[in-house]
């Protein structure tokens, strides 16, 4: 009857979001008077997730699952849930988790609520708060099915330490039958670079930057801050930056601690997608830019003057603080 | 190849969102409804398959009569036929069950849905649908090529992309990238006239249930006021971010 949480890993190590979903699962387990079990696939340091209240890990080691495969992973999660008798299954909001969760839901004939931003409102009935209309509102959603699948929004619940000894048990799910569905032929990803999904800080540029040749300072600012880079929609439409960097209602959602918008006007579709970020800084030459109404800190000025200065000052700050 | 494009009818991206009936319902008063942007990319890709590979393209939506202008728009863009399942889309599971019945009846090889609807941001209909039908599934799909029974797709991943191969029958959750922005079609007069002659079949829902229910809504707390920092005093910005906001 435990709560099951899928803790993602990459290259044998837990991903950053594993701590948050584990913390969430522990909270739900507490409320339900039960324990939290993690399912980890090809993860070397499984017991470390005990730091976040997880008392048991189902540890899957299988060469066939080396590369993420949504359908096969969904079958693994289904079998893990059945083995544990879990009625509540927790996942993150990563691209992979959002690929997987609906399939797990259908395999278990359950209900799924994504984009959950807080611990459950109540357990009986099971009710959670989630964002809807691209952050323009919240819904309190009741799960009526026996099996409940919850997708936790990135950076919404936080990591809560609860030192527990995690009992690691090997788990060998059946991978028989035609459960792979797709074959990965090529992954194109810069290793070690912060991504919009998991960075604490995102530095984003808009059309105000005039052209792709001016992105050097955006990248430098991002580097100084250990941030990921992003852009507004027209910037990716114009081919100045790759589509994967487009954020907003029709692009990637951003929910970081700090979002720095440079030369971005703050159109409603842009704001919808980035408003879940905790602190927003705007640098724009036009004091009337709508983004100033939606931000925490603002600088009116020419990006080509402000950004290089900011980089210098941040470098000084960083060298003093270390 | 027979393609079904699933169309979700959503408020225009510029809509202000309000709730009504004691914050238990979305207030559609004065709201303009459109084809979900992710579905528009999918529909446009489907038109490419129609033009270049002779595919037949049907569109389907689960919704009441009020969704018909949106489906007509899909017909005006070039879909051959439309199906409307006459039911309120109760939740993603319910919608997927309705669409599964349509796909089974129609014998579609490829189902193009969107990664998510921009209203409730469920992101679940295509994945549930594929699983109910036992079809292959690629989500966050930004490129799709079909040759015979074989498909090559690219999906977005956090921080990059992944190329996949798979086979029909296939469901995708599509998004921007599937076609380029400039390929999106605005229906022209001829398209609109022709859409009037095309079949819009209204079918009654199959027996299915919802597994979730939104019991109340609320809006984000109003934003506190902004602190402005002089462009010549960036030390202050750094100090605020460090000491006050504690984010650097
Ligand atoms: C269906 C639909 C979906 C959309 N989805 C999205 C989405 O997901 N994400 C998104 O971003 N947009 C989206 N948009 C587009 C959105 O409406 C805006 O057009 C877009 O966000 C504007 O991008 P921008 O702010 O970079 O450019 P602009 O609006 O051109 O703004 C540029 C800004 O830069 C400032 N500037 C100019 N020069 C300088 C300088 N030297 N220094 C500092 N500032 C300067 C200007 O004052 C201005 O505020 C969508 C639109 C539609 C219709
Ligand atoms: N009521 C509906 N009718 C038809 N298709 C839908 C409906 N709702 C969602 N879809 C499809 O499923 C995709 C994802 O929607 P959702 O799971 O609601 O975020 C949409 O982009 C559509 O392609």
Task: Please compute the mean of the pLDDT values over residues A152-159 and round it to a whole number.
Answer: 96
Tell me what pLDDT residue B186 has.
Answer: 87
Residues A8 and A151 placed together within one structural domain of the fold: yes
Residues A129 and A221 placed together within one structural domain of the fold: no
Residue nearest to atom 1 of ligand 1 (CA): B13
Tell me what pLDDT residue A192 has.
Answer: 81
Q: For residue A272, is it within any domain?
A: yes
Q: Which of B126, B142, B218 sits opposite A138 (nearest CB)?
A: B218
CB atoms A95 and B229 under 8 Å: no
Q: For residue A251, what is the domain's CATH number?
A: 3.40.50.1220
Tell me what pLDDT residue A321 has.
Answer: 80
Q: For residue B11, what is the domain's CATH number?
A: 3.40.50.620
Residues A88 and A39 placed together within one structural domain of the fold: yes
pLDDT digits (tens, 9 = 90+) for B115-130: 999 999 999 999 999 9
Q: How far is the CA of A126 from the centre of ligand 2 (A)?
A: 24
Our count of domains for chain B comes to 1
Q: What secondary structure does DSSP assign to A205-240, as a single string?
A: E-GGG-SGGGTHHHHHHHHHHTPEEEE-HHHHHTTS
Other CB atoms closer than 10 Å to residue B186's CB: what's the count? 8
Tell me what pLDDT residue A190 has.
Answer: 85
Q: For residue A195, is it within any domain?
A: no
Q: For residue B245, is it within any domain?
A: no
Task: Please compute the mean of the pLDDT values over residues B59-83 and round it to a whole number.
Answer: 98
pLDDT digits (tens, 9 = 90+) for A175-233: 998 899 999 999 999 888 889 999 999 999 999 999 999 999 999 999 999 999 999 99
pLDDT digits (tens, 9 = 90+) for A131-148: 999 999 999 999 999 999
Residue nearest to atom 7 of ligand 1 (CA): A248
pLDDT higher than 90, residue B113: yes
Q: For residue A227, is it within any domain?
A: yes
pLDDT higher than 80, residue A322: no
Query: Does ipTM come in above 0.95?
Result: yes
Task: Please compute the mean of the pLDDT values over residues A263-284 and round it to a whole number.
Answer: 97
Report whether A265 belongs to an annotated binding site.
yes
Tell me what pLDDT residue A202 has.
Answer: 98
Q: For residue B177, is it within any domain?
A: yes
Tell me what pLDDT residue A191 has.
Answer: 82
pLDDT digits (tens, 9 = 90+) for B21-38: 999 999 999 999 999 999
CB atoms B211 and A143 under 8 Å: yes
Tell me what pLDDT residue A193 has.
Answer: 85
Q: For residue B223, is it within any domain?
A: no
Range of the domain at B175: 2-216
Q: For residue A26, is it within any domain?
A: yes
pLDDT digits (tens, 9 = 90+) for A22-60: 999 999 999 999 999 999 999 999 999 999 999 999 999
CB atoms B96 and A136 under 8 Å: no
Helices B68-77 + B189-197 axis angle, to 10: 120
Q: For residue A15, what is the domain's CATH number?
A: 3.40.50.620
Q: For residue A128, is it within any domain?
A: yes
Q: For residue A248, is it within any domain?
A: yes
Is B82 a pocket residue for ligand 2 (Cβ < 6 Å)? no
Range of the domain at A224: 201-321
Mean pLDDT score across all residues of chain B: 97
Strands of the sheet with A137-143, listed across from one edge: A167-170, A56-60, A36-41, A3-6, A88-91, A148-152, A111-116, A126-132, A137-143, B212-218
Residues A174 and A217 placed together within one structural domain of the fold: no
């Amino acid at each position: 009857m435990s709560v099951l949480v899928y803790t993602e890993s990459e290259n044998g190590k837990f991903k950053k979001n594993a701590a948050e979903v584990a913390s969430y699962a522990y909270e739900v387990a507490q409320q339900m008077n039960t324990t939290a079990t993690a399912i980890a696939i090809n993860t070397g340091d499984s017991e470390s997730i005990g730091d976040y209240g997880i008392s048991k890990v189902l540890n899957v080691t299988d060469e066939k699952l080396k590369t993420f495969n949504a359908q096969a992973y969904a079958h693994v999660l289904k079998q893990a849930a059945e083995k544990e008798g879990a009625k509540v299954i927790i996942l993150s909001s990563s691209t992979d988790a959002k690929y997987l969760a609906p399939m797990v839901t259908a395999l278990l004939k359950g209900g799924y609520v994504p984009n959950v931003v807080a611990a459950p409102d109540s357990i009986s009935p099971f009710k959670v708060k989630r964002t809807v209309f691209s952050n323009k509102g919240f819904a309190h959603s009741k799960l009526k099915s026996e099996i409940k699948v919850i997708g936790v929004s990135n950076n919404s619940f936080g990591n809560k330490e609860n030192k527990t000894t995690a009992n690691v048990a090997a788990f060998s799910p059946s991978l028989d039958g035609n459960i792979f569905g797709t074959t990965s032929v090529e992954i194109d990803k810069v290793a070690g670079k912060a991504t919009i999904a998991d960075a604490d800080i995102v530095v984003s540029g808009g059309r105000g930057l005039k052209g792709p040749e001016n992105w050097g300072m955006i990248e430098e600012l991002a580097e100084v801050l250990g941030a990921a880079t992003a852009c507004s929609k027209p910037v990716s439409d114009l081919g100045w930056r790759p589509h994967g960097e487009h954020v907003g209602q029709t692009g990637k959602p951003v929910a970081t601690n700090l979002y720095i918008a440079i030369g971005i006007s703050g159109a409603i579709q842009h704001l919808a997608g980035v408003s879940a970020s905790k602190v927003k800084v705007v640098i724009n030459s036009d004091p009337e830019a709508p983004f100033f109404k939606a931000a925490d800190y603002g600088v009116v000025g020419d990006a080509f003057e402000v950004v290089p200065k900011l980089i210098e000052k941040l470098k000084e700050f960083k060298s003093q603080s270390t | 190849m027979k393609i079904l494009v699933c169309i979700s009818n959503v408020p225009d991206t510029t809509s202000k969102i309000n709730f009504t009936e004691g914050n238990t319902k979305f207030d559609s008063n004065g709201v303009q409804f459109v084809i979900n942007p992710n579905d528009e990319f999918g529909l446009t890709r489907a038109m490419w398959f129609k033009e270049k590979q002779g595919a037949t393209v049907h569109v389907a939506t689960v919704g009441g009569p009020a969704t018909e202008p949106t489906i007509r728009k899909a017909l005006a863009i070039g879909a051959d036929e439309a199906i409307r399942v006459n039911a309120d889309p109760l939740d993603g599971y319910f919608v997927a069950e309705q669409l599964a019945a349509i796909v089974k009846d129609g014998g579609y090889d490829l189902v193009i849905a969107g990664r998510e609807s921009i209203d409730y941001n469920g992101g679940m209909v295509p994945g549930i649908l594929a699983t109910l039908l036992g079809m292959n599934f690629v989500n966050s799909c930004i490129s799709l090529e079909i040759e015979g029974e074989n498909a090559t797709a690219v999906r977005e991943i956090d921080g990059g992309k992944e190329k996949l191969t798979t086979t029909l029958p296939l469901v995708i959750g599509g998004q921007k990238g599937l076609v380029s922005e400039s390929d999106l079609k605005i229906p022209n007069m001829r398209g609109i006239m022709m859409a009037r002659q095309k079949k819009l079949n209204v079918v009654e829902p199959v027996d299915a249930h919802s597994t979730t229910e939104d019991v109340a809504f609320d809006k984000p707390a109003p934003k506190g006021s902004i602190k402005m920092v002089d462009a010549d005093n960036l030390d202050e910005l750094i100090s605020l971010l460090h000491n006050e906001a504690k984010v650097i």
